[in-house]
Amino acid sequence: MDVTPELRARIRAAFPALSGDTVFLENAGGSQVPAAVADRMRDYMVSSYVQLGAGYELSRRATALVDEAHDFVGMLVNGSDGEVVLGPSTSVLLRMLADAWVPALSPGDEVVVAEIGHEANIGPWKRLERHGVRLRWWRMDPATCDSPLDSLAEVLGERTAIVAFPHVSNLLGGILDVAAATRLAHEAGARVVVDGVAYAPHRAVDVAAWGVDVYAYSTYKVYGPHMAAMWVSRATLGELEGPNHFFIPDDELPYKLELGGPSHEGCAGILGLGDYLAGLAGVGDAAGLDRTGVERAFEVMTACELPLQARLVDYLGSRPDVRIIGPPSGGPERVGTISFVHSSRSSREITELVDRSGIAIRHGHMYAYHLCRALGLDPDDGVVRVSLVHYNTPDEIERLIGVLDRAME
């Protein structure tokens, strides 16, 4: 696909925050939103900011909007055979999920977690040890930062109940073969819980193609409001005990899993993403957006992102004083989340210098604490992480490289 300067300009024009001076290269922390998202949130709040489930017209409209947001996310992840649960964050949703699973687990059952995981998909499972559940680790190869499927196979067994892993580590950037890992886990009779937070901003999610049981991501990293979404297959839902009040029946979904309900204005914002994706896919507005349009929109994003990540990874790879933490080359097998350490400068030092030039990046363990430890890194200093998405530009990457040259002199 041809990425013209006009396309890049059109994309940037959709995001009001990008007209300022800051260069946003901390997108794995959180992305900017298109005007369509902010507009929908404002419109909702000034026109129908009422409670759901009452009989009056405004309430009926608000209820329909929240339902529509769930349906939209279901379409976005290609998940017709399951339910979408919305909540304040992926950390909250995964913690709630683990707690909801307790009644279906027995002492001696095992949960496999990935060493490269974000703590949001490790800690909630570790907490189940108090119920007699055993935690097993899918180890990473510290030389390559890969998580080989062989290492997963080694820890699967007849007691494995759940395998929890990230689609992409928010520190490494490499894309895991979710379908293959899911097949292995299913062969062992386990359910699969995928943390898709670091993947979803870059590529179209397709839970049906991968066969996963649960897939969670943070909408605020996918050009939307500060919320999160978790798709759960219908088969898995039957095993969970929802946290919502006793008089709400188990089959009242997704409400049974949405204690307190989701942010209504956030749901309006989530729908605004549909307008933006429709524009990228060239199909007008959200009403014209279907699954094919979603895939098309993410293809455009990927085409915009790939040359940028290739340029930055090549630059870092050309420096003998830099060690890339993650896949050492750009390309479709990774996303634009690129981490590195320097042979003599601390990650903090480099990041502070870059920050001072108006370029927003980050350093640290990124909540992938176990991963940092396994790599022998001091988690507090961690790595320098540059995370770009489709709306970043070649000029921004050149500007960053110029600053990194000076910071690592």
Ligand X SMILES: Cc1ncc(COP(=O)(O)O)c(C=O)c1O
Q: How far is the CB of 372 from ligand X (least distance, A)?
A: 14
Stretch 58-117 residues interacting with ligand X (CB under 6 A): 89-91
Which residue, 176 or 268, is less far from ligand X as judged by CB?
176
Please say whether the dihedral angle defined by the alpha carbons of residues 243, 245, 246 and 249, taken in this order, is positive or negative: negative
Q: How far is the CB of 174 from ligand X (least distance, A)?
A: 12
Answer for which of 52, 77, 116, 120 binds ligand X (CB under 6 A) is 120
Structure token digits, residue 375: 């790599």
Which residue, 48 or 170, is less far from ligand X as judged by CB?
170
Residue count at the site for ligand X (CB under 6 A)?
13
Which residue, 373 or 406, is less far from ligand X as judged by CB?
373
For residue 138, which of 164, 170, 99 has the smallest C-alpha distance? 164
195 binds ligand X (CB under 6 A): yes
Q: Which stretch binds ligand X (CB under 6 A): 33-41, 134-142, 192-200, 347-355?
A: 192-200
For residue 137, which of 115, 108, 169 has the smallest C-alpha distance? 115
244 binds ligand X (CB under 6 A): no
Distances (CA, A) of 195 to 2, 114, 164, 279: 31, 11, 8, 27
The total number of residues shown for the chain amounts to 409
Q: How far is the CB of 218 from ligand X (least distance, A)?
A: 4
Amino acid at 34: P
For residue 315, which of 279, 351, 340 has the smallest C-alpha distance? 340
Q: How far is the CB of 355 from ligand X (least distance, A)?
A: 19
User: Using CA atoms, how far apart are residues 150 and 143, in angstroms rounded to an integer?
Assistant: 16
* 3-class secondary-structure state, position 40: helix
Q: How far apart are the first and last CA of the chain?
A: 37
Q: How far is the CB of 371 from ligand X (least distance, A)?
A: 11
Q: How far is the CB of 257 from ligand X (least distance, A)?
A: 16
Answer for which of 74, 79, 82, 166 binds ligand X (CB under 6 A) is 166
Distances (CA, A) of 97 to 138, 170, 240: 20, 21, 8
User: Using CA atoms, how far apart are residues 99 and 363, in angstroms rounded to an integer?
Assistant: 32
404: left (phi over 0), alpha (psi -120 to 50) or beta: alpha
170 binds ligand X (CB under 6 A): yes
Instruction: Work out the angle at residue 369's Cα, subtended by the Cα atoms of residues 243 and 193, and round it to the nearest 5 degrees.
Output: 40
Answer for which of 40, 70, 95, 118 binds ligand X (CB under 6 A) is 118
Q: Which stretch binds ligand X (CB under 6 A): 126-134, 194-202, 248-256, 378-386?
A: 194-202
Cβ neighbour number for residue 318 with a 10 Å cutoff = 8
Q: How far is the CB of 201 from ligand X (least distance, A)?
A: 10
User: Using CA atoms, how far apart are residues 117 and 343, in angstroms rounded to an integer?
Assistant: 25
Which residue, 112 or 407, is less far from ligand X as judged by CB?
112
Per DSSP, the residues of 389-400 read -TT--HHHHHHH
Q: Which stretch binds ligand X (CB under 6 A): 103-111, 195-203, 316-324, 328-336?
A: 195-203
Stretch 1-40 residues interacting with ligand X (CB under 6 A): 28
Q: How far is the CB of 346 from ligand X (least distance, A)?
A: 22
Which residue, 31 or 218, is less far from ligand X as judged by CB?
218
325 binds ligand X (CB under 6 A): no
229 binds ligand X (CB under 6 A): no
Answer for which of 161, 163, 197, 253 binds ligand X (CB under 6 A) is 197
Answer for which of 218, 236, 244, 309 binds ligand X (CB under 6 A) is 218
Amino acid at 392: N
Which 8-state DSSP code applies to residue 28? Answer: T
Residues making contact with ligand X (CB under 6 A): 28, 89-91, 118, 120, 166, 170, 195, 197-198, 218, 228
